[in-house]
A and B are shown apart, each in its own frame.
Chain A
């Protein structure tokens, strides 16, 4: 629709018009703006408070769920250990105890121990994934206890039997020669036998890297209970035999 000339004239006339607002109009507007600012700042504090609460709740939930999830993730840790073994990376394998020690160290401590970078990365990943290293090390220890003693227990028993028969033979030999066998003699023979058994067990085990203290405790407890009992039982039997024989001869 074409705009008519009279409309243009009206528009121009109205466009040139200005109306002065009342003297208090700015004060009214400034008051409205001040009120809005105060309201805005109050709202902002509310939002900050809400945001802080949300962050706190998230943090608490995160801590709570992470604390629960560590126990449930422990089997996964064992699997990753197996995966590392399956890769069969050609490096100088450290003894089990040393590996456990290295996993407990920081990344910086890991670097000089392992030579292959690929294995380093795998171990690093394991560290990232597995915060509870203590559980990891305990699992590894259990594996060691299961695999190693299976082979050595049999050898240990054979050695013990052999030593028992040797000591009994020595005591009987001494008795037959008419010499008196004192407790000190028996203790000396036992100590000697224990020493030999311990040395042979360690030699047959193939690794001299096993912790000495753990091995000592292990061997001592076994020997003190099983080996000593065997010795005394053998001595008792032989003594009973000799005593019976002497009594029958006298009769």
Chain B
């Protein structure tokens, strides 16, 4: 019952915001901005630039809010806008390279990985990945995009997307294990 009320309240709020009601827009912003900024932060290392990307995403969302038909979740619609905006920002900021070089990783180091890791450390390791690896990994492993969707959004082949993901996984596991070795003195903690 509560869920239904919340849903209808959201619909009314979205409808008002679509009619350019600034108060309704402000409430939607307050509700969704923290989550959206976190999503933008996956892709953009600098928090100020990530916020800039998020504001651009909200601006486009509010301007085109009439095209949202309440068929899916509003948050999902907003997330897709943020991802596209982040990709667009990274394209403008610097050339996104999809590295093809092989990374030598000890297979023993990637089998049992310590997952009880703080969010800041995870973000730090993701930030250290090459741009191509990072984008494909975040889109696939965190956002849940399929390879063909990633290929379409990034203008690459599906094979490139798969290879980038494979290499991103290897490198990320290696980095996390290395971090665990330094901080905990062990790499034997199973997940």
- Chain A residues with a Cβ under 8 A of chain B: 1, 3-7, 9-11, 13-22, 25-26, 28-30, 32-33, 36-37
Contacts of B173 in A (CB 8 A): 6
B-side contacts of A17, CB under 8 Å? 38, 119
Instruction: Determine how close the nearest CB of chain A comes to the CB of B20; give it in whole angstroms.
Output: 7
Chain B residues, Cβ within 8 Å of A32 = 55, 59
Contacts A10-B122, A14-B42, A19-B47 given; does A29 touch B191 at CB 8 Å:
no
A14 touches B191 (CB 8 A): no
Output the least CB separation between A173 and chain B (Å): 109
Contact of B142 among A11, A26, A36 (CB under 8 A): A11
Closest-CB distance, B97 to chain A (whole angstroms): 23
Instruction: Contact check, B37 vs A21: say whether CB atoms are below 8 A apart.
Output: yes
CB neighbours of B37 from chain A (8 A): 18-21
Chain A residues whose C-beta falls within 8 Å of the C-beta of B141 in the assembled complex: 3, 7, 10-11
Q: Contact between A29 and B58 (Cβ–Cβ < 8 Å)?
A: yes
Tell me if B124 is interfacial: C-beta within 8 Å of chain A.
Answer: no
The B contact surface, by secondary structure, is helix
**Is the C-beta of B66 less than 8 angstroms from some C-beta in chain A?**
no
Interface residue stretch chosen among B6-14, B22-30, B83-91, B148-156: B22-30
Instruction: Name the prevailing secondary structure of the A interface residues.
Output: helix
Q: Which of B22, B34, B35 contacts A30 (CB 8 A)?
A: B22
Identify the closest chain A residue to B48 (Cβ). Answer: A22
Determine which residue in A7, A9, A10 has the highest number of CB atoms from chain B within 10 A of its CB, and name it.
Answer: A10
Contact present for A25 and B119 (CB under 8 Å)? no
Residues on B with C-beta less than 8 A from A4 are 169
With A and B bound together, what is the CA distance between A37 and B19 in angstroms? 12
Knowing A6-B115, A11-B142, A36-B63, say if A18 contacts B34 (CB, 8 Å).
yes
A92 to B169, CA, bound (A): 101
* B167 contacts the other chain (CB 8 A): no
Interchain CA distance A36-B141 in the complex, whole Å: 36
Q: Which residues of B contact A25 (CB under 8 A)?
A: 33, 51, 54-55
Q: Roughly how many angstroms separate A5 CA and B26 CA in the complex, as a whole number?
A: 38
Chain B residues 104-139 with CB under 8 Å of chain A are 113, 115, 117, 119, 122-123
Instruction: Note all chain A residues with C-beta closer than 8 A to B55.
Output: 25, 28-29, 32
Q: Judge whether B165 is part of the interface by a CB distance below 8 angstroms.
A: yes
Known: A1-B165, A20-B34, A33-B25. A14 touches B142 (CB 8 A): yes
A32 vs B141: C-alpha distance in the bound complex, in angstroms? 34
User: Known: A1-B162, A5-B115, A25-B55. Contact between A19 and B41, CB under 8 A?
Assistant: yes
B51 touches A22 (CB 8 A): yes
Given A18-B35, A21-B54, A10–B115 Cβ distance below 8 Å? yes
Q: Which of A3, A6, A28 has the most CB of B within 10 A?
A: A6
Write the nearest CB–CB distance from B129 to chain A, whole angstroms: 12
Return the chain B residue nearest A36 by Cβ.
B63
Q: Contacts A19-B37, A19-B47 given: A33-B59 contact, CB under 8 Å? A: yes
A169 to chain B, nearest CB (A): 105
Tell me, yes or no, whether B174 is within 8 Å of chain A by CB.
Answer: no
Contact yes or no, A9 B115, CB < 8 A: yes
